[in-house]
Amino acid sequence: MNLKQCDNFNYAADQYAVQYLYGKERQEFKEWISTGHLKEQLSRKERITYHYRSKPNPNQHEFFEAQAVKIYQDEKHFFALVGFRHIDDIMEKETTIQNQLKQALDETRLSNEIISAIAKSYCSIYRIDVQKDFFEEVSNDSEIHKLTGNRGCASEKLYQLCDTMVAPKYRPLIRPFLDVSTLSARLKTEECISTEYRMCDGSWHRMLFTVKKRDQSGNVTHVLCTVRSISDSKRREEDLNFAAEAAKREAEMKTRFLATMSHDIRTPLNGIIGMVNMGNQYADDPQMQQKIREKAMEALKYLVSLVNDVLDMNKLQSGELKDQQILFDLTMVLRELNQIYDERAAKKGIRYEVDWKNSTYSHSALIGNPVYLGRILSNVMDNAIKFSQAGSVITVWVKEETLDDGRAFFTFYCKDQGVGMSEDFIAHAFDMFSQESKTSRSRYEGTGLGLAITKQLVDRMDGSIELKSEVGVGTTVIVKIPFKIDTQDKNSNLSDKPVSLDDYSVEGIRALVVEDNELNMEIARCILEDSGMEVTCAVDGQEAVEIFEDCCFKKMHGR
């Protein structure tokens, strides 16, 4: 082909490209079909092809293939034969195949991403050939899961992990599970098996063997071994177990409460009924009548004490009791308690002593809750008297430990020579209705709630209580409670002399008693009128308001 022929060919190709091809396709086609390119390519090849897309022709063909074939003129010269054909059918098939491949690739990539995301929840992943006892580690920390290159004997790897990472207590239990030689048999009818164990660092893990491949006989040949942390789920399981145990204990407590209350309420009530019947039989015997009244009063006081204890315990558990912080005199509180319990101990033939030699405290003006403190110490000394025999000694004393933050810890001691407590009982002495033996309820009068209430009160005051006891020797109760020290004048707002109602007269004072119980109203009226008061009674709040308005407001009919 001479120069003019080449120019004509190139011109014709340019015109074709301009008329039928799109912009980008046009330039690439012109470069491919140029005589220079054809000559250069065919000098090295026998045939070259080029696929392109054109504007649709009248037959709606868009995709074409151009082929250039070398035809020899002689040994040194050759011609290029260029031909064209439409390939729409071929391209349609190729496009379909490409779309299918793309869809398969997308699905594979999605599946791989899902598997990789799941793999991240595992600490370790191993692919194990059961027959060859061979493992390969699978990466669990990348977007695409892959082999890490860590491989070797599966049994050695698993036992190494067991001996170095599993807590010693669980190693004898986990080693049989790791036996690769028995995996095929253990997975004969299962698709997976698992076990849980504790690690040396205290965390919990679960190991799972999952069947990956079986042979024609159904025997397992390959498994996937995965390890994941289950510490959070274990913690939730423990919380649920704890809640279940707490609910069980609460149910048992309610059952015991009802059983105990039914006995403790019925017994004194039956005694009171019996005393009333005896009073009718000995109506003309003043001494017997006095004795009957005293016995009935003892039973009634026990009932009141029982009800008060139950109500107090309920208020403590429900948080209804408010912890009031007020200024009080510790010396006055202890003086009143010592007077009360000295008398009670004397009635039982017990010597009550205050150990002034060991009692050392320099602050008496304190800020805290004297009501709680009085109840705590009263319960402790009640028990000391209750469980001590005549002729024994009860010793009490107190010590102070001053802190730098304006507070002081006061430690109250109560030592008796009573029956004592065993170590087993001390462990649950602060439980409701706890008593040393089944016979204690009949031998020693009480509700079994005293120490439980005491412990609750001590806890509310940020204190502590300790029991030291020996059966047949006695018990020492140690109560330690913090109080704020009053920094003002020691005598401000405090009085060494307790206030007594005997110093005041209520004679002539008018009182409005509101009570819906007829018996209680009659008792209140009698007590107040004996004191010289003028009493008006109302059975409910509405009647009380009407009486109050009638007495106090103008244009009413009060006096």
pLDDT confidence of residue 151: 87
Alpha carbon of 297 to those of 76, 272, 381, 521: distances in Å? 142, 8, 22, 19
Tell me the domain boundaries of the chain: 9-93, 116-235, 248-315, 322-485, 510-557
Q: Do the Cβ atoms of 365 and 486 come closer than 8 Å?
A: yes
The model carries a pTM of 0.48
Class of domain 248-315: mainly alpha
DSSP state of 116: H
**Of 469, 471, 434, whose CA–CA distance to 451 is shortest?**
434
Q: Hey, which CATH number is domain 9-93, 3.40.50, 3.30.450, 1.20.1740, 1.10.10?
A: 3.30.450
pLDDT confidence of residue 94: 83
Does domain 510-557 fall under CATH 3.40.50? My reply is yes
**Amino acid at residue number 512:** L
pLDDT confidence of residue 111: 61
**What dihedral angle (degrees, nearest 10) is formed by the CA atoms of 345, 346, 348, 354?**
30
Q: What are phi and psi of 486, to 5 degrees?
A: -75, 125
With a CB cutoff of 8 Å and minimum separation 6, the contacts of 384 are: 394, 414, 416, 418, 475, 477
DSSP helix/strand/coil, 397: strand
CATH fourth-level superfamily of 322-485 = Histidine kinase-like ATPase, C-terminal domain (3.30.565.10)
Topology alike, domains 9-93 and 116-235? yes
pLDDT confidence of residue 147: 57
**What's the CA gap between 94 and 323, in Å, rounded?**
86
Structure tokens at 423: 């170590």
Does domain 116-235 fall under CATH 1.10.390.10? My reply is no
* C-alpha 57: how far from chain center: 77
Per-residue pLDDT tens digits of the chain, which is 559 residues long: 567 777 788 888 888 888 888 877 888 888 898 888 888 888 888 899 998 888 888 888 888 899 999 888 777 778 888 888 988 888 888 888 888 888 877 776 666 655 555 656 677 888 899 999 999 888 655 554 555 678 899 999 999 999 999 999 999 989 999 999 999 999 999 999 999 999 999 889 989 999 989 998 889 999 999 888 888 888 888 888 888 887 887 777 777 767 767 777 787 788 888 888 888 888 888 888 898 888 888 888 778 877 877 777 777 766 666 677 899 999 999 999 999 999 989 999 999 999 988 888 889 999 999 988 998 999 999 889 989 999 999 999 999 998 888 899 999 999 999 998 888 888 888 876 666 554 444 444 555 677 888 898 899 899 999 999 999 899 999 999 999 998 774 544 444 444 444 556 778 888 889 988 887 888 888 888 888 889 899 888 888 888 877 776 555 454 4
* C-alpha 508: how far from chain center: 61
* C-alpha 198: how far from chain center: 21
pLDDT confidence of residue 443: 46
With a CB cutoff of 8 Å and minimum separation 6, the contacts of 414 are: 377, 380, 381, 384, 394, 395, 396, 476, 477, 479
